[in-house]
Amino acid sequence: MSIIFEPNNKIFTMQTKHTTWQAKVSKYGHLLHVYYGSKVEDADLSYLIRGINRGFSGTPYIACDDRGYSLDTYPQEYSSWGSGDYRSSCLEIEHEDGSRAAELLYVSHKIYDGKYILPGLPAIWGKPSEIETLEVLMKDRSTEIEVILYYSVLEEYDVITRACKICNAGNKPVFLHKALSACLDLQRDDLDMVSFHGRHAMERILQRNHAQHGKMSVGSVRGTSSHQANPFVILCDQTAGEEHGECYGMSFVYSGNFIAETEVDQINQTRFTMGIHPDGFRYLLEAKEAFVAPEVIFSYSSKGFGTLSQNFHDLYRNHLIRSTFKNKRRPVLINNWEATEFDFTEKELVSLAVSAKELGIELFVMDDGWFGSRNHDKSGLGDWFANREKLPSGVKGFAEKIHKLGMMFGIWIEPEMVNEDSELYRKHPQWCLKIPGRLPNLERCQMVLDMTRKDVRDYLFEAVSKVLDESHAEYVKWDMNRNLSDVWSADLPGERQGEVYHRYVLGVYELIERFTSKYPDILWEGCSGGGGRFDAGILYYMPQSWCSDNTDAIERITIQYGTSFGYPISCVGAHVSVSPNQQTGRETSIETRAAVAMAGTFGYELDVRKLNEEEREKVKEQIVFFKKYYDLIHEGDYYRLTEVGKRTDLAAWQFVSKDKSESLICTVMLQAKANPPFLRLRVRGLKEESLYHMEGTETFYKGSALMHAGINLPVVYGDYQNVNFVFQEVLS
Ligand code: DGJ
């Protein structure tokens, strides 16, 4: 049993393999947070909670003689606004009389095998034998507002998930102004927050800041999780590193607006909150209606970031991603975007496919530009039928040609968008998000379809299904190339306009769910101008996401490094593109580009017809190599061997098979130096006592030697050189 309730002291203890979370119902009925950290067995830790009379931190009415008891200083499981806790709140409710307050008290709880269900929302899943759940019913002291707090424990993964449901059990409507998913109150002030910021074509750059008095937050109000911030953050002690230190990882399983916030309070405690961003959020709960706040995944490691990342990687691979490609090898693809952009003919694409096929590439993906009047980015979005000038035999005829080559066929779509210059917009101008009487903001000349509307989703489902049916597509890239603005739905009354951001996300999820259920054998790849919607929510539906529009191998090292903290390699869309790179002009070898793309889904996105013979031979070898080590790369443990950003000479990463018998180490020497110092690299995750053979040599190393003494890196000439090492355990 991983969840235990001790009725005398009213203590809930949730145990995973290496961690413990404890909460307690106080004598006045509030649910207090007791502890989250390294495993402590059979212990009541509530002695950790102390109160003294502090000026300007009041007491609940019922505890008036108990002056040390204050919601403003006691650690809580779910904080609410308006009743004397002045720190960050999770819940802010406006009642019918205009008052804004809630004081949540414990009513009852249940513990059961299996996972809680969040209808319409992505979430971690698993068998009843793998997951145990605690539901705590709380009720506002003065109204009929009820809150159900959900906790699920995945013991083997050191993971606890949380979500909640806010129910209006009364007879009068209320407005939610804030309904976050979870709160974690830690009684310490020595924490750093690691978060991942960025911009288009440079996503998930790691930043680390000490959480100080006051609030510090990252988040998105762009309607998507965004390029600019990622809904995955880490709180860690100030000395934590890859292999040591305490760290708490929090991942929001949601693809829209979010906030992740720390607040260090007056007595040096840190509150962390996460959920849907309150800006632009106002949710009407009519009598008997409920609102479900999406899931937050928590994991804790006392052994540094490496273990924390591996917890998330394993969890996502086994209990988040549902696609049939979860356990199925994904084909090596070629995408025509960087080779042709909008400017292609069927003949040209077929010739590209023929050339790719010769190299061993298995899947041809036709990107943007195949539909409607799509000859540039100013027109066509919304018209999901073939552009006959480019594809005279339609998508069907073109796909047949690809299939005849013995390749799989894949196609790009951007269902959530519309151009003003499109048949769809001319027919249904009210189908997009815009505010009457205002000129809408445009991004890439396009507007956002109102995904809250069922008629819009039905149209998209029908139009895109037709294309998928006639082409027998095996892969779809689902793109999304702008953020939301002018958020107003013609389909909702004024009082519900504050719900549009969230309903938009629910609409997108509903449509993707319909597609992925109808076409379970298609490999779906998410994309939002690269990595603008790279989050656990999308990965629940689609097993991989295009990581960035920046395909420069050296910049990708930084992007993929940041991404790897929260997301497994098998989710990271990565391709070999042309050199000099189209985005940066940087030149790198085909080996370096391949090594970086192999720390991802691996594919090509360049005109392979223009490669010289030597490069073509190398590409053939790369594909064979990737297929040979596919399981090691996609299923093995991933280690970051260097801190990108701190080291300017070397970037290195490593894959180790789960049984530790095989390992691949990839290095890129970043800056060439005259008269260079020797470089040595210590690897990780092997068996100390085993002997390992270094592939391609006659050399054998003891696991302990590789891990403690390290391997010598060769002296190389020129910037950005790649050297890989494969080690196989020698069985005696
Ligand atoms: C943005 C994507 O990230 C690119 O890969 C490409 O598909 C373009 N959109 C096409 O418009």
Residue 461 DSSP class = H
139 phi/psi in degrees, rounded to 5: -140, 140
Taking the centre of ligand 1 as the mean of its atom positions, its distance from the CA of residue 412, in whole angstroms, is: 9
Pocket test for ligand 1, best of 549, 577, 578, 606 (most atoms within 8 A of CB): 549
pLDDT (tens digit, 9 = 90+) per residue, 608-665? Answer: 999 999 999 999 999 999 999 999 999 999 999 999 999 999 999 999 999 999 999 9
Who's near 585: CB < 8 A, 6+ residues apart? none
Q: Whose C-alpha lies nearest to ligand 1, atom 9?
A: 529
Q: Is the pLDDT of residue 181 over 80?
A: yes
Answer whether 0.85 is exceeded by the pTM.
yes
Taking the centre of ligand 1 as the mean of its atom positions, its distance from the CA of residue 479, in whole angstroms, is: 7
Taking the centre of ligand 1 as the mean of its atom positions, its distance from the CA of residue 721, in whole angstroms, is: 28
Of 261, 290, 319, the residue at which a domain comes to its end is 319
Q: What pLDDT sits at residue 451?
A: 98
pLDDT (tens digit, 9 = 90+) per residue, 365-391? Answer: 999 999 999 999 999 999 999 999 999
Mean of pLDDT values over 513-526: 98
Mapped onto helix, strand or coil, the DSSP state of residue 636 is coil
Pocket test for ligand 1, best of 199, 337, 414, 559 (most atoms within 8 A of CB): 337
pLDDT (tens digit, 9 = 90+) per residue, 151-161? Answer: 999 999 999 99
Mapped onto helix, strand or coil, the DSSP state of residue 294 is strand
> What whole-number distance in Å separates Cα of residue 487 and Cα of residue 229?
20
Taking the centre of ligand 1 as the mean of its atom positions, its distance from the CA of residue 480, in whole angstroms, is: 8
Atom of ligand 1 at shortest range from CA of 337 = 6
| 637 within 8 A of 655, measured Cβ to Cβ | yes
Cβ contacts of 671-675, under 8 Å, gap ≥ 24: 671/719, 672/716, 672/717, 672/718, 672/719, 672/721, 673/649
Pocket test for ligand 1, best of 376, 377, 412, 604 (most atoms within 8 A of CB): 412
Considering its fold, how many domains does the chain have in total?
Answer: 2
Q: CA–CA distance from 726 to each of 39, 656, 657, 658, 662 (Å)?
A: 36, 10, 12, 15, 7
Angle at 187 between CA 182 and CA 191, to 5 degrees: 80
Q: Is the pLDDT of residue 422 over 80?
A: yes
Classify residue 453: in a domain, yes or no. no
> What whole-number distance in Å separates Cα of residue 474 and Cα of residue 363?
8
Residues annotated catalytic, as ranges: 535, 615
Taking the centre of ligand 1 as the mean of its atom positions, its distance from the CA of residue 533, in whole angstroms, is: 13
Q: Whose C-alpha lies nearest to ligand 1, atom 2?
A: 529
Taking the centre of ligand 1 as the mean of its atom positions, its distance from the CA of residue 381, in whole angstroms, is: 13
Q: Is the dihedral of CA 354, 355, 360, 363 positive or negative?
A: negative
Of 268, 289, 319, the residue at which a domain comes to its end is 319
Taking the centre of ligand 1 as the mean of its atom positions, its distance from the CA of residue 410, in whole angstroms, is: 14
Mean of pLDDT values over 39-68: 96
Give the CATH number for residue 96.
2.70.98.60
Atom of ligand 1 at shortest range from CA of 477 = 7
Question: In the structure, what pLDDT confidence band is assigned to residue 1 with cuts at 50, 70 and 90?
Answer: confident
Q: Whose C-alpha lies nearest to ligand 1, atom 11?
A: 368
Classify residue 568: in a domain, yes or no. no
| 58 within 8 A of 82, measured Cβ to Cβ | no
Question: In the structure, what pLDDT confidence band is assigned to residue 29 with cuts at 50, 70 and 90?
Answer: very high
> What whole-number distance in Å separates Cα of residue 90 and Cα of residue 183?
7
Q: What is the token pair recorded at 215?
A: 């609030």
Atom of ligand 1 at shortest range from CA of 605 = 5
Pocket test for ligand 1, best of 381, 416, 546, 547 (most atoms within 8 A of CB): 546
Classify residue 612: in a domain, yes or no. no
Classify residue 693: in a domain, yes or no. yes
Mean of pLDDT values over 256-272: 98
Q: What pLDDT sits at residue 719?
A: 95
Atom of ligand 1 at shortest range from CA of 377 = 11
Q: What pLDDT sits at residue 327?
A: 83
Q: Is the pLDDT of residue 115 over 80?
A: yes
Atom of ligand 1 at shortest range from CA of 530 = 3
Question: How much is the mean pLDDT over the chain?
Answer: 98
Atom of ligand 1 at shortest range from CA of 412 = 7
Q: What is the token pair recorded at 673?
A: 């130096």
Q: What pLDDT sits at residue 414?
A: 98
> What whole-number distance in Å separates Cα of residue 112 and Cα of residue 126?
13
Classify residue 221: in a domain, yes or no. yes
> What whole-number distance in Å separates Cα of residue 134 and Cα of residue 573?
36
Angle at 309 between CA 307 and CA 314, to 5 degrees: 95
Classify residue 424: in a domain, yes or no. no
The residue written with tokens 């690809």 in the block is 402
Mean of pLDDT values over 26-42: 98
Q: What is the token pair recorded at 613?
A: 């013979």
Of 319, 334, 361, the residue at which a domain comes to its end is 319
707 is in which domain, residue-wise? 639-730
Atom of ligand 1 at shortest range from CA of 549 = 3
Q: Whose C-alpha lies nearest to ligand 1, atom 1?
A: 529
Mean of pLDDT values over 64-81: 97
Classify residue 565: in a domain, yes or no. no
Q: Of 274, 277, 248, 245, nearest to 261 (Cα)?
A: 274
pLDDT (tens digit, 9 = 90+) per residue, 212-254? Answer: 999 999 999 999 999 999 999 999 999 999 999 999 999 999 9
Q: What is the token pair recorded at 46?
A: 């509530």
Residues within 6 Å of ligand 1 by CB: 337, 367-368, 412, 479, 481, 527, 529-530, 546, 549
Q: Is the pLDDT of residue 274 over 90?
A: yes
Q: Is the pLDDT of residue 99 over 80?
A: yes
Classify residue 23: in a domain, yes or no. yes
Taking the centre of ligand 1 as the mean of its atom positions, its distance from the CA of residue 342, in whole angstroms, is: 11
Q: What pLDDT sits at residue 604?
A: 98
Give the CATH number for residue 660.
2.60.40.1180
pLDDT (tens digit, 9 = 90+) per residue, 329-342? Answer: 999 999 999 999 99
Mean of pLDDT values over 93-117: 98
| 555 within 8 A of 584, measured Cβ to Cβ | yes
Taking the centre of ligand 1 as the mean of its atom positions, its distance from the CA of residue 95, in whole angstroms, is: 45
Q: What is the token pair recorded at 675?
A: 């008269």
